[in-house]
Amino acid sequence: MTDSNGSQRQGSHRPREIRVRVRRQDGPGQTPYWETFLLPYEPDLNVISVLQKIAALGKDAEGKRVPPVAWECNCLEEICGACTMVINGRVRQACTALVDRLLEQQPDEIRLEPMSKFPVIRDLVVDRARIFATLKKIQAWVPVDNYLNLGPGPRQSQENQELAYLLSKCMSCGCCMEACPQYLKIEVPRLPGESEDDYRRREMEITNRAFMGAAALAQIDLFNSNPIGAMNARERLDVLIGEGGIQVCGNAQNCVKVCPKEIPLTTSIARMGRAATIHMVRRWFDL
């Protein structure tokens, strides 16, 4: 009963079909609605294959022809971060959300929703441009002089590499932001006649004043601990203590619980808190 891949998880509760409820939205600012789909049960599915099957099916539970659900994905190996969504109330990647496991926890249906902290573009696709804009604001890069042949980077301890590697696995998926009570959704309405460039600029000004989120705080930690990155650490610390910086963090510690890459976000935040304090004191004394 418990040996082949199938029987272990099917057990005696193998359903005949899978009921999937999707919170859909046709476009930005439109009213969301729920749609239900029924798929014949198969073992070893994940939520990605469920969405692929819904697309191939082309109709909802009542047999009505409906457009396929829009969603974002790429690698399907939980390394690109694209397919992040809220599944049965929990933010995670669709590729590692295994249907058999979901049905064990909640046999009647699988519920798919877009992340709530980012503006919906369509169905499960949200606009996460803000995450990447924040990486600009915090200068999340090593400011090398050039790309010429100047020999290797500085030698580093194994300890330093291990920490940096942990932080550097952040795939900008947005899970930590979705779970954070301080990270709030910002949806900037377009002005009549405004060009795309103007809109993006205005949107960025607004989002840049809002909380940067745990991922960005950990990235400041990452680049300030890099031997070359440390050379402009003060600029990053200025951003850290500025508007939307570390003082917004309410220490709810949800971020570290939902991070799919198990990045020690709260440890980083604590380290950044100390760095912020020292930096502020230094600034008072103009050091």
Partner 1 sequence: MASYRVVVVGGGLAGLSATMKLAELGAEVWLISLTPVKRSHSCCAQGGINSVNNLTRQLGDSEWAHFEDTVYGGDFLQHQPPVKEMADWAPRIIDLMDRLGVTFNRTPEGFRDQRRFGGTLYPRTSFAGATTGQQLLYALDEQVRRWEVTGHVRKFEFWEYLGPILDQNGVCRGCTIQDLVSMEIRTIPADALVIASGGCGVIFGRSTMSMACNGSAVSRTYQAGARYGNPEFIQVHPTAIPGSDKLRLMSESARGEGGRVWVPRKPQDPRPPHQIPEHERYYFLEERYPKYGNLVPRDIATREIFKICTQEGRSVEKDRLCVYLDLTHLPRELLDRKLGGILEIYEKFQGVDPRSVPMKIFPAVHYSMGGLWVDYERTAAGGLRVGSPRNQHTNITGIFAMGECDYQYHGANRLGANSLLSCIFSGLMAAPGILAYVKDGDQGARDRLPSSLFEQAERLHKERFQEFFRRPRDGDNPYLIHQDLGRVMTAAATVVRHNEELDRAYEKVLELEARAKRCALSDTGSWTNQNLVFARALEDMFPIAKAILRGARMRDECRGAHYKPEFEMPSITADDPAETRRQAEAWCDRFAENTRRWLKSTIATCDPDGEPTIHYEEVDTSLIPPRPRLYGVVGGQIIEEVWRERQKPQVAATV
**Is 150 one of the binding residues for partner 1 (CB under 8 A)?**
yes
**Is 29 one of the binding residues for partner 1 (CB under 8 A)?**
no
Longest dimension (CA), the chain: 71
Residue choice 31, 62, 63, 77 for contact with partner 1 (CB under 8 A)? 77
Helices 233-240 and 214-225, packing angle to 10 deg? 160
**Is 255 one of the binding residues for partner 1 (CB under 8 A)?**
no
Provide the mask over 114-133, with x wherever binding to partner 1 is found by CB under 8 A and - wherever it is not: -------xx--x--x---x-
Number of H helices, E strands in the chain: 11, 7
**Is 80 one of the binding residues for partner 1 (CB under 8 A)?**
yes
Nearer CB in complex with partner 1: 183/223: 223
**Is 55 one of the binding residues for partner 1 (CB under 8 A)?**
yes
Residues 6+ positions from 139 with CB-CB distance below 8 Å? 223, 232, 235, 236, 239
Residue choice 12, 63, 105, 151 for contact with partner 1 (CB under 8 A)? 151
**Is 14 one of the binding residues for partner 1 (CB under 8 A)?**
no
Torsion angle, alpha carbons of 25, 31, 34, 37, to 10: -30
Nearer CB in complex with partner 1: 48/210: 48
**DSSP assignment letter at 208:** H
Letter for the amino acid at 141? W
CB of 132 to partner 1, least distance (A): 6
Cβ atoms 86, 174 nearer than 8 A: no
Residues in the chain: 287
**Is 286 one of the binding residues for partner 1 (CB under 8 A)?**
no
Query: How many binding residues for partner 1 (CB under 8 A)?
Result: 75
Nearer CB in complex with partner 1: 7/247: 7
Which of the ranges 60-68, 240-248, 250-258, 270-278 carries the binding residues for partner 1, by CB under 8 A? 60-68
Site for partner 1 in 169-198 (CB under 8 A): 169, 171-172
Residue among 91, 97, 83 nearest 116 (CA): 91
Nearer CB in complex with partner 1: 37/249: 37
Residue choice 34, 107, 116, 136 for contact with partner 1 (CB under 8 A)? 136
Residues 6+ positions from 159 with CB-CB distance below 8 Å? none
CB of 65 to partner 1, least distance (A): 6
**Is 146 one of the binding residues for partner 1 (CB under 8 A)?**
yes
CB of 244 to partner 1, least distance (A): 17
Site for partner 1 in 196-225 (CB under 8 A): 223
Which of the ranges 16-24, 77-85, 265-273, 277-285 carries the binding residues for partner 1, by CB under 8 A? 77-85
Could you give the CA distance from residue 179 to residue 177 in angstroms, rounded to a whole number? 5
Q: How far apart are the first and last CA of the chain?
A: 69
Letter for the amino acid at 204? M
Could you give the CA distance from residue 27 to residue 141 in angstroms, rounded to a whole number? 34
